[in-house]
């Protein structure tokens, strides 16, 4: 039975048996890593990267996931900070790359300071035991993993270098990684539409599995494509502020540059986003 109407969260009143389909292709561990920044001190840089990777991301296609981070100035008790929320993950082409890199750059971190960086991975899953509205418990869960690291911006700190930072496997803690144990998917979904495309919902085991952080590296090709995508955005002909002086002005050159970046970005399967 399919429940096709555009239900809202408050109208989960369908009488269905979710049932679980356990299939090797639909189960496994998703690992979400905060690759950068780490618990380190960095020299101020114009565009500070925030980089995550998602391993086995293909398993999250029924989780409708999103990533969020917030930064808190440790000196003013969080009165000032920054935040970002990435909703585009639901459109990710997971099969294009594993691990899948998610990143953005921000230019509001150029002065000295120490920051808490709280990051969360949100995901939907279904209660496989749910059979009817008379059952106790919710048919759908929205869970999140919460982690916090600390980083410092200070003159004389190490230069921001994604390749060097991620080559070091000693600078992470359990706060740099989150893992989700996907055990299967349901045969039906208690709500459809944007929340659970294809009327399929994932089933997730708890407790959260342990995982080893600092395993994913950013190599120079991936780092270069991230920088190229930043430059592409900054050089957007429609952009009038903060445009680098050396952007290609010729429209043919521009189109070629854009095409090159698009190819590279597609080749490494990345999803960039901006502050």
Ligand X SMILES: *[C@@H]1O[C@H](CO)[C@@H](O)[C@H](O)[C@H]1NC(C)=O
Binding site for ligand X (CB under 6 A): 29, 39, 73, 75-76, 80, 93, 95-96, 111, 113, 141, 143, 173, 181, 183, 204-206, 209
Residue closer to ligand X, measured from CB, 76 or 169: 76
Q: How far apart are CB 39 and ligand X at their closest, in Å?
A: 4
User: Is residue 51 within 8 Å of residue 69, measured between CB atoms?
Assistant: no
Q: How far apart are CB 217 and ligand X at their closest, in Å?
A: 19
Q: How far apart are CB 5 and ligand X at their closest, in Å?
A: 25
Q: How far apart are CB 74 and ligand X at their closest, in Å?
A: 8
Residue closer to ligand X, measured from CB, 51 or 211: 211
Residue closer to ligand X, measured from CB, 26 or 235: 26
Residue closer to ligand X, measured from CB, 84 or 141: 141
Residue closer to ligand X, measured from CB, 96 or 215: 96
Q: How far apart are CB 182 and ligand X at their closest, in Å?
A: 8
């Amino acid at each position: 039975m399919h429940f096709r109407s555009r239900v809202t969260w408050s109208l989960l009143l369908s009488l269905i048996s979710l049932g679980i389909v356990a299939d090797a292709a639909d189960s496994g561990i998703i690992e979400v890593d905060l690759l950068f920044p780490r618990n380190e001190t960095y020299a101020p840089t114009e565009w500070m990267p925030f980089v995550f990777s998602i391993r086995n991301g293909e398993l999250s296609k029924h989780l409708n996931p999103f990533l969020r981070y917030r930064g808190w100035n440790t000196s003013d008790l969080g009165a000032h900070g920054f935040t970002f929320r990435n909703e585009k993950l639901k459109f990710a082409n997971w099969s294009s790359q594993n691990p899948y890199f998610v990143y953005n750059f921000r230019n509001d971190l150029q002065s000295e300071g120490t920051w808490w960086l709280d990051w969360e991975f949100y995901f939907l899953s279904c209660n496989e035991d749910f059979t009817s509205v008379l059952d106790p418990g919710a048919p759908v869960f929205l869970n999140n993993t919460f982690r916090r690291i600390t980083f410092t911006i200070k003159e004389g700190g190490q230069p921001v270098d994604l390749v060097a930072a991620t080559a070091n496997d000693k600078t992470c803690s359990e706060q740099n990684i989150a893992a989700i144990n996907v055990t299967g998917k349901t045969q039906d979904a208690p709500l459809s539409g944007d929340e659970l495309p294809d009327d399929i919902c994932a089933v997730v085991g708890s407790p959260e599995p342990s995982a080893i952080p600092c395993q994913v590296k950013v190599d120079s090709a991936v780092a270069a494509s991230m920088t190229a995508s930043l430059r592409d955005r900054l050089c957007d002909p429609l952009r009038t502020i903060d445009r680098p002086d050396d952007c290609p002005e010729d429209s043919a050159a521009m189109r070629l540059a854009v095409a090159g970046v698009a190819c590279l970005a597609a080749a490494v399967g990345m999803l960039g986003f901006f502050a």
